[in-house]
Amino acid sequence: MKPLQFSQQWLGTALMVSLLTTGCANNETTATGPQPVEVKLQTLEAATLVDSNAYVGTLEARQRVELAPSRTNGRIKAIFVREGDRVSQGQRLIEIEPQQQQQDLVAATGNLKVAMADLKAAEAEYRQREAERDRALADVETARANLASTDAEVQRVQAELILAEKNHQRATFLESEDVVPTETLDDATRTLNATQAQLQSTIKTRDASQQALKAQQNNLRAAERRVDQALANVDSRRSSIVQAQGQQGATAVTLGYNFLEAPITGVIGEFNEKKIGDSVSIGEPITTITDNQVFYLNVNVPIENRNRLQKGLPVELINQNGTSGVQGQITYIAPQVDQNAQSVLVKMAFRNDGSLRDRQYVRARVIWDRQPGVLVPTTAVSSLGGQKFVFLAQPGESQDSLVAKQVPVEVGAIQGQSYQVISGVKPGDRIAVSRILDLKDGRAIKEVSLTHSR
């Protein structure tokens, strides 16, 4: 029986030790609490807050011209440049062999005598038109003198009318006071009526004189136009003679080769499948030259921003990744509003850095203002009931520990991938930028590096 009693005592002791061990383990777990949330922290720095609006449009080169023969038809004999070459104004680009026919010179010689006869007839007509103009000018002076006379008559009758009105008023008063007989008032009334009728008649006469003057002035202008036309006809006939004489005395050099030169400095475009030996006509485009040093962009800015527009305001193109591209400025603001679109046409200018192309579709940003402030990544901002929050990293109770402090912030527009912060945080604050949904106010956190993986 003693061995059994010893075994029971040993078993009880082991059970008590086990219970004590379990209790201590449970107390240690409770005292440790939840593990800190591993988050990435970012120290806020002073930034520039940009007040801007974005617009879209198509770039237009400062100058773009089509290169085409302007004087003669012919065949392309030589091409001195290649597509994409940059050329200077006045540089020879293409040599054209004209297809001028010798009979053109013969016809010009035959037309010379006819042109000289036409010139004599035109000069006779010109002298006749000058005489008509002189008569019309005399008629105008006569009509102007008549108008001056009738206008003076109107002024004289108007003065008489004023006197008649005063006499009538005086007679009316005296008659009412029985100072003068009624016949006196009647005479004053008749005089007033007669003067009024005379004034109306005189005004009609003056108006007729004005109309007569206008008619004579119209006749004079018509006569002057006929003189101008006759003089132009004389000049045309003289030019025809000069042209015929020049064609008659032209040499084989006149029928030689022509060169097409660059009218502007720019870049050669495609040659429209034209090659040496091809025929080209007057006005037929061969290629283009584009001045791509400066590009313009026309955009329509809503009238809500019309008072903020001003020449010289900075603008910038937006790259495909959202970053800022080529810088420019506003160079033109339309003086009127587009009634249909309720917008103002604005022209922006950008100096090409080599990345821009004519007729390129782009997005541009008008920068209204720049101010110092703070930017917070959009991923670090949470919302609750319409209020925006961020989590600040603050020291915890124990050494080297951190806790998340939920702080309300007032944010503005989105700039890039960040919010513009109006109030709530300041430069130097450290905020959590990851695992925002796992955080709450006062939660313990642990900073991890950007390369740390959970």
**Per the domain annotation, does 350 fall within a domain?**
yes
- What total of structural domains would you count in the chain? 4
CA distance 395 to 265: 66
Give tens-digit pLDDT for 421-435: 999 999 999 999 999
Looking at residue 237, its pLDDT comes to: 85
| pLDDT(6) > 80 | no
**370, 387, 420 — which closes off a domain?**
370
CA distance 192 to 380: 96
Strands 37-39 and 444-447: parallel
Give the pLDDT mean for 160-180. 89
Give tens-digit pLDDT for 194-213: 999 998 999 999 899 899 98
Looking at residue 29, its pLDDT comes to: 41
Give the pLDDT band (50/70/90) at residue 9. Answer: very low
Looking at residue 166, its pLDDT comes to: 93
**Per the domain annotation, does 13 fall within a domain?**
no
Give the pLDDT mean for 227-256. 74
The CATH number linked to 90 is 2.40.50.100
**Per the domain annotation, does 408 fall within a domain?**
yes
The pLDDT mean for the chain works out to: 84
**Per the domain annotation, does 143 fall within a domain?**
yes
The CATH number linked to 306 is 2.40.30.170
**What per-residue string of b and e applies to 418-427 under the rule 16 or more CB within 10 Å gives b?**
bbbbeebbee
Question: Of the candidates 79, 117, 124, which has an alpha carbon nearest to the alpha carbon of residue 97?
Answer: 79
Looking at residue 249, its pLDDT comes to: 65
Give the pLDDT mean for 220-240. 89
The CATH number linked to 436 is 2.40.420.20
Whether residue 93 contacts residue 82, with contact meaning beta carbons closer than 8 Å, is answered with no
Q: How does DSSP assign 18-82, residue by residue?
A: HHHHHHHHHHHHHHH-SPPEEE-EEE--EEEEEEEEEEEEEEEEEEEEEE--SS--EEEEEE---
- Same domain? For 366 and 381 the reply is no
**Per the domain annotation, does 6 fall within a domain?**
no
Handedness of CA 271, 274, 277, 278 (dihedral sign): negative
Strands annotated E in 245-360: 258-261, 266-268, 279-280, 287-302, 314-318, 324-333, 343-351
- Same domain? For 426 and 437 the reply is yes
Domain range enclosing 358? 53-57+291-370
The CATH number linked to 219 is 1.10.287.1490
- Same domain? For 297 and 177 the reply is no
Give tens-digit pLDDT for 57-79: 999 998 899 999 877 778 888 89
Classify residue 446 as left (phi > 0), alpha (psi -120 to 50) or beta: beta
CA distance 283 to 73: 9
**Which of the residue ranges 86-100, 207-221, 253-267 would you say has the lowest mean pLDDT?**
253-267
**Which residues have CB under 8 Å from 405's CB, separation 6+?**
391, 392, 393, 394, 441, 442
Classify residue 152 as left (phi > 0), alpha (psi -120 to 50) or beta: alpha
pTM over 0.95: no
**Per the domain annotation, does 28 fall within a domain?**
no
CB count in 10 Å sphere of residue 405: 18
- Same domain? For 205 and 309 the reply is no
- Same domain? For 134 and 122 the reply is yes
- Same domain? For 117 and 223 the reply is yes
Give tens-digit pLDDT for 375-387: 999 999 999 888 9
Give tens-digit pLDDT for 271-327: 888 888 888 888 889 999 999 899 999 999 999 998 999 999 999 999 988 888 999
Whether residue 287 contacts residue 281, with contact meaning beta carbons closer than 8 Å, is answered with no
- Same domain? For 265 and 130 the reply is no
CA distance 309 to 344: 9
**Per the domain annotation, does 360 fall within a domain?**
yes
- Same domain? For 82 and 203 the reply is no
Give the pLDDT mean for 135-160. 91
CA distance 40 to 450: 7
Looking at residue 250, its pLDDT comes to: 59
- Same domain? For 235 and 115 the reply is yes
**370, 396, 422 — which closes off a domain?**
370
- Same domain? For 346 and 386 the reply is no
**Per the domain annotation, does 18 fall within a domain?**
no
- Same domain? For 346 and 274 the reply is no
**317, 349, 370 — which closes off a domain?**
370
User: Considering just the CA atoms, what is the radius of gyration of the chain in Å?
Assistant: 49
Residue with tokens 């080599």: 354
- Same domain? For 275 and 312 the reply is no
Looking at residue 32, its pLDDT comes to: 55
